[in-house]
């Protein structure tokens, strides 16, 4: 079965610019997650979707970050405007159902550099 797909793999932008990331989860997986991973740290959950509804977005900086999951499949994460501290790897993951959140499948990530 195909894994979680993400694009782009790398992105370099200047501060105050905007950027968008795309994720396609494993087919049939109802739950989708976006994480931010800063170098040397563990993944930090930004937002969690169950189908196309938001389960948790308590750690999403809503003044600059937004995410959507149209039709309960693909998802996009946007940052506008970007700050230097947003430099990180953005990981998308999916799990079969929310009850199996302990077993997540991760995509390769997008490495964002903000200059």
Partner 1 sequence: GQSLEQPSEVTAVEGAIVQINCTYQTSGFYGLSWYQQHDGGAPTFLSYNALDGLEETGRFSSFLSRSDSYGYLLLQELQMKDSASYFCAVKDSSYKLIFGSGTRLLVRP
53 CB-near residues (< 8 Å, 6+ apart): none
Smallest gap from Cβ 60 to partner 1, in A, equals 13
Which residues on neighbouring strands pair with residue 7, listed in sequence order?
A: 22
**Interatomic CA distance for residues 7 and 24, integer angstroms:** 9
26 binds partner 1 (CB under 8 A): no
In the range 31-60, which residues lie near partner 1 by CB under 8 A?
Answer: 33, 40-45, 48, 55-56
The residue with tokens 């694009």 is 7
Nearest distance in Å: CB 104, partner 1:
7
Please report, as ranges, the residues that interact with partner 1 according to CB under 8 A.
4, 33, 40-45, 48, 55-56, 91, 93, 98-99, 101-109
């Amino acid at each position: 079965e195909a894994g979680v797909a993400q694009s782009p793999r790398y992105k370099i932008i200047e501060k105050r610019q905007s950027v968008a990331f795309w994720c396609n989860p494993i087919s049939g997986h109802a739950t989708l997650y976006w994480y931010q991973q800063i170098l040397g740290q563990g993944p930090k959950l930004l937002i969690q979707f169950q189908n196309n509804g938001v389960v948790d977005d308590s750690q999403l900086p809503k003044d600059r970050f937004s995410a959507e999951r149209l039709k309960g499949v693909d998802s996009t994460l946007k940052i506008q405007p970007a700050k230097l501290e947003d430099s990180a790897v953005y990981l998308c993951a999916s799990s079969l159902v929310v009850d199996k959140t302990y077993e997540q499948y991760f995509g390769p990530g997008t490495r964002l550099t903000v200059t």
